[in-house]
Amino acid sequence: MAKFDETPIIKDPAVKGELRPPKIREHASAEVKCHPSKPKDTAAINLPSELVPDWQERAIARFGELLDKNQALRVYMDACVRCGACTDKCQFFLGTGDPQNFPVARAELMRKVYRRYFTPAGLVPGLGDAADFDEEMLQKWYTYFYQCSECRRCSVFCPYGIDTAEITAAAREIMASIGISTKYVTEVVAKVYETGNNLGIPPLAWIDNSEFLAEDMEEITGLPIQFPVDEEGADILLIPPSADNFANTDTMIGYGKLFHFLGVSWTTSTYCNEAGNFGLFLNFENLQKVNQRMLEAGRQLGAKTIIWGECGHAWRAGILTPTLSGSMDDFDPPYPYHISQYIVDMFRKGAFEGHIDKSANDEFLVTYHDPCNSARAGNLLDEPREIIRNTCNRFVEMPRNTIRENTFCCGAGGGLLTDELMPIRMAGGKPRAEAVKYTQANYLATVCAICKAQLPELMKYWEVPVQVGGVIDLLANSLKLK
Amino acid sequence: MSTSDILWTLLSLFFIGLAYFATFAFVAGLLWRLYGYLRTPMPLPHSLTPAPKTEGGAVLRVLGDVTLFPNLFKADKWLWAGAWIFHAALVSVLFRHLRYFTYPVPGIVLYMEPVALFFGILFGVAALFLFWRRLGLPRTLYISNIPDYFILVLLGLVAATGLMVSYWMHVNIVDVKSFILGLMTFRLVEVPRHPLFLLHLFFILVLMIYFPFSKLMHAGGIIFSPSRHQPFQVQVRGKRYKNPVERY
């Protein structure tokens, strides 16, 4: 794997926190593509399994439908003046130097087609700046719309708030409708319908894992910390990202200790044990179907409240739940409810007073990585920081232009967390790695399962010695259980 | 009638025709595009956070975007300065042009007279800066295309010819005004016999025709940009975003 660019991304952050854009290297990442989807997966999620014969007409027709149904897409096709404000903002350009990873260049792939088929400007060659939707263009779409993590950092800097994620999502929607999708995303969505979660953990294995965790906890703490599954009538249904029960078990233990400490009844569901919604990265139909499962699980078990676990894009889809999946009025407010918000509410009620030992986390110098989705699409900016400040003595922020709404994506969001995209992931994560390196922190806290999967590999690749973990892990660490 | 009289009459007919056509294309095109934005729903609430929690806050945000370009300020200070001066000067110059369209002329327009030259030059300089930036920065050079240069050149020519007929090769203002008021009241008169002024007019009419079909629609589009005009209200109790689209 070639390192894309060796120049430092953060130039003297102590003074200005400026980012130095790399030199333009055309076609630098043109060959990094996702594996195409497999027929067994596309069949399971109602998509054509191969490029349909009349794909050009169907794509343009679908494009037209979306233009009539999505104000963002319609406005963003016209409004860009190509001022270049976004050109040094995307981590995938900063990492690869490929100018097609300018947010504006990415969007232009779609705009050229838009101008050709939907505006009179398409009739004037040159002046209209239009292009046919041919095989070459489709290839570019497939490459570069799957090198975008839909993180929306560019839209923070756009004078018109042009949201490249809306454009990328529409392009993927159109591609999906003509039989072009990626193996990773379709596989994951298909697994959700089959097993209830992205990782394909069958219900029995989930129950096994949960029991194993409980035994472990009993051994370590001597306390009956439970990880209930499918418990009818529990007050709280927790929907974590399934990785928490499998890879990030510290986070799962965190949930367990938290609810044990508060003495509330809670459960997970084997019907829906996945907060992450990969429909978001594929098409609207699957976004809606996957989201629907959360409310169904809540109603099956008669839970009073549904709480979303530490997962970034889960929360991005989660806050849309009442619109996507109908009223949530049969659940207790507030809703949708995120675990970080829940913990902060408990702090404000004084539930933890006298039971937090901050010095338990003294070995850590903690910094916080804002996952793109929870920060820029879910307004979770202060809550995780409040939890960290309440549970740790040593907390340090990364440079100002790399946190909160200016945060850099970890490099693997938006359906890019797949091995064949490794060069893009490592290059795209470079700004984040540089920012972490600058703080010299040894604990990188975050609230997203995709970040938690990507960041350890990223930090190893860029040689940043730091441990990655959840925010709730820190809470669990400092909590004096009773 | 001399040959030159016939020529001027033909030219007048051409410009009168073009002026009405351009006005129609501009107004109808603009309304058609804006109506397109207005009638298109959003399938989901747009949540680019942090964002204002209320409708009023979102309106203020859009007003701020239109007048101050705060996002551009965050992104690139030089670009912000160039773009803001460019737009502010353009608005001032357009406003001052009211003196050719109104009778009697509002007092405030007349008060601007002493600084009009300043704004005209400022506009031209800002246009030059933006043009230079497109060529000078590798990143903007890469994304710039014929339409980007075309519009800047067109605006630059409008500014140059406008400044020239105002401060150097003077056009008779009475002729200009009677021509324009004639167009507005359908009592047509001959065009001012001043080639440079006609060039100025021609560039403007071309710009008007091109406007609704080009990136100049950013002027109206910004008001309809969901990430700016929508407040973040998805988590307010009882507040459910009414989805206007049955199936996406």
Q: Tell me whether residues A99 and B213 touch, CB distance under 8 A.
A: no
Residue ending a domain, choose from A157, A183, A209? A183
Share of chain B above pLDDT 90, in %: 68
Looking at every residue in chain A, the average pLDDT score rounds to: 90
Contact of A14 with A435, CB cutoff 8 Å:
no
What digits encode the pLDDT tens for the residues B175-185? 999 999 999 99
Assess if residue A4 is contained within a domain.
no
Q: Check whether residue A191 and residue A339 sit in a common domain.
A: yes
Residue A12 has pLDDT above 80, yes or no: no
What digits encode the pLDDT tens for the residues A184-216? 999 999 999 999 999 999 999 999 999 999 999
Contact of A479 with A355, CB cutoff 8 Å:
yes
Residue ending a domain, choose from A349, A372, A405? A349
Q: Check whether residue A137 and residue A102 sit in a common domain.
A: yes
**Averaged over A256-281, what is the pLDDT?**
94
Which ipTM was obtained for this model?
0.91
Residue B238 has pLDDT above 50, yes or no: no
Q: Check whether residue A169 and residue A202 sit in a common domain.
A: no
Give the domain range for residue A26: 10-183
Q: Check whether residue A146 and residue A213 sit in a common domain.
A: no
Q: Tell me whether residues B226 and A72 touch, CB distance under 8 A.
A: yes
Q: Tell me whether residues A129 and B145 touch, CB distance under 8 A.
A: yes
Residue A16 has pLDDT above 60, yes or no: no
The CA distance from A246 to the nearest CA of chain B, in Å, is: 30
Assess if residue A3 is contained within a domain.
no
- Please provide the size of chain B in residues: 248
Assess if residue A1 is contained within a domain.
no
Q: Check whether residue A279 and residue A342 sit in a common domain.
A: yes
Q: Tell me whether residues A319 and B235 touch, CB distance under 8 A.
A: yes
Query: pTM here?
Result: 0.92
Q: Tell me whether residues B221 and A75 touch, CB distance under 8 A.
A: yes
Assess if residue A2 is contained within a domain.
no
In A, which residues are within 8 Å of B218 by CB distance? 78-81, 160
Q: Check whether residue A196 and residue A151 sit in a common domain.
A: no
Q: What is the CATH number of the domain that holds A324?
A: 1.20.1050
Residue ending a domain, choose from A286, A317, A349? A349
Structure confidence at residue B208 as a pLDDT band (50, 70, 90): very high
Report the C-alpha gap between A297 and B218 in whole angstroms: 45
Assess if residue A414 is contained within a domain.
yes
Q: Could you tell me the strand order of the sheet in which A467-470 lies?
A: A366-368, A443-446, A467-470
Report the C-alpha gap between A79 and B65 in whole angstroms: 14
Of these ranges, A141-145, A353-357, A429-433, the one predicted with the greatest mean pLDDT is A141-145
Task: Number of A to B CB contacts under 8 A, please give it.
Answer: 195
Contact of A337 with A294, CB cutoff 8 Å:
no
**Averaged over B159-185, what is the pLDDT?**
92
Residue A13 has pLDDT above 80, yes or no: no
Per-residue pLDDT at B43? 82
Q: What is the CATH number of the domain that holds A112?
A: 1.10.1060
For chain A, what is the domain count? 3
Q: Check whether residue A175 and residue A213 sit in a common domain.
A: no
Q: Check whether residue A329 and residue A428 sit in a common domain.
A: no
Q: Check whether residue A33 and residue A66 sit in a common domain.
A: yes
Q: Check whether residue A426 and residue A467 sit in a common domain.
A: yes
Q: Check whether residue A234 and residue A145 sit in a common domain.
A: no
**Averaged over A82-106, what is the pLDDT?**
93
In B, which residues are within 8 Å of A161 by CB distance? 48, 65, 71, 222, 225-228
Assess if residue A328 is contained within a domain.
yes
Q: Check whether residue A338 and residue A372 sit in a common domain.
A: no
Nearest CA in chain B to A123: B213
Strand partners, A367: A444
Report the C-alpha gap between B193 and A216 in whole angstroms: 95
Q: What is the CATH number of the domain that holds A411?
A: 3.40.50
The CA distance from A169 to the nearest CA of chain B, in Å, is: 13
Strand partners, A338: A308
Q: Tell me whether residues A85 and B72 touch, CB distance under 8 A.
A: yes
Assess if residue A5 is contained within a domain.
no
The CA distance from A453 to the nearest CA of chain B, in Å, is: 24
